[in-house]
Amino acid sequence: MTTKAERTSAYIIEKVAPIFNKQGYIGTSMSDLTEATGLTKGALYGNFENKESLALAAFEYQSTKLLAAIDEQLNGGGNALDTLFRLTNFYRHYDEFTAPLGGCPILNVGVDAKYNNKLLEGAARETLHTIEGKIALVLEKGVNTRELKLPVPPLQFAKQLFTMIQGAIAMATISGDRKYLINTIAYLELLIKKEIRN
């Protein structure tokens, strides 16, 4: 059973996570956080040591949601191709998934924190590497079962695949045009069918 303090912390994180994700660590003020939660600055700091620990908890909350959604695609059964196409379909609608989060947490936090918060930057990098590793396992399974033939090792291919996805997310976000995402996913699916399917 959760304590009142744990419930309060969870409430705070849920309310502030999209704000940090949209506005960034530096761009988010204490008044933004108190307004979103309806709590005083003292109440916030009664649950979190400082703004940085709250921002880190908010990113971990967003990251956990994202990784759970990806795991749902990757653990849905079927062969490696089925799994890859479930993943690409998830990313086809990624902007819809991330809208309540305030956008893509890896992109937003990773770029925002690059020059102003090493802890947040490290957390975003760790999440990125985790996703690449998960994709690499699917690819490795496909190679081992002779469904897939890769021109490079599975982890290298996973990194290239994920780079294209994240690039499309960045372009769709910056331009406000989701065709960048849709067209890149369509191209990746074609690449999987024509180039790496055995």
- Quick: pLDDT tens for 2-43: 788 889 999 999 999 999 999 999 999 999 999 999 999 998
- Determine the pLDDT at residue 15: 96
Rounded to two decimals, the pTM is: 0.93
CA–CA separation, 135 and 81 (whole Å): 12
pLDDT digits (tens, 9 = 90+) for 90-147: 999 999 999 999 999 999 999 999 999 999 999 999 999 999 999 999 999 999 999 9
- Determine the pLDDT at residue 5: 82
Q: What angle do CA 114, 120, 123 make, to 5 degrees?
A: 110
Question: Could you tell me the fold of the domain covering 59-196?
Answer: Tetracycline Repressor; domain 2 (1.10.357)
Of residues 70, 72, 60, 67, the one with CA closest to residue 21: 60
Q: Which two three-digit tokens encode residue 66?
A: 């994202």
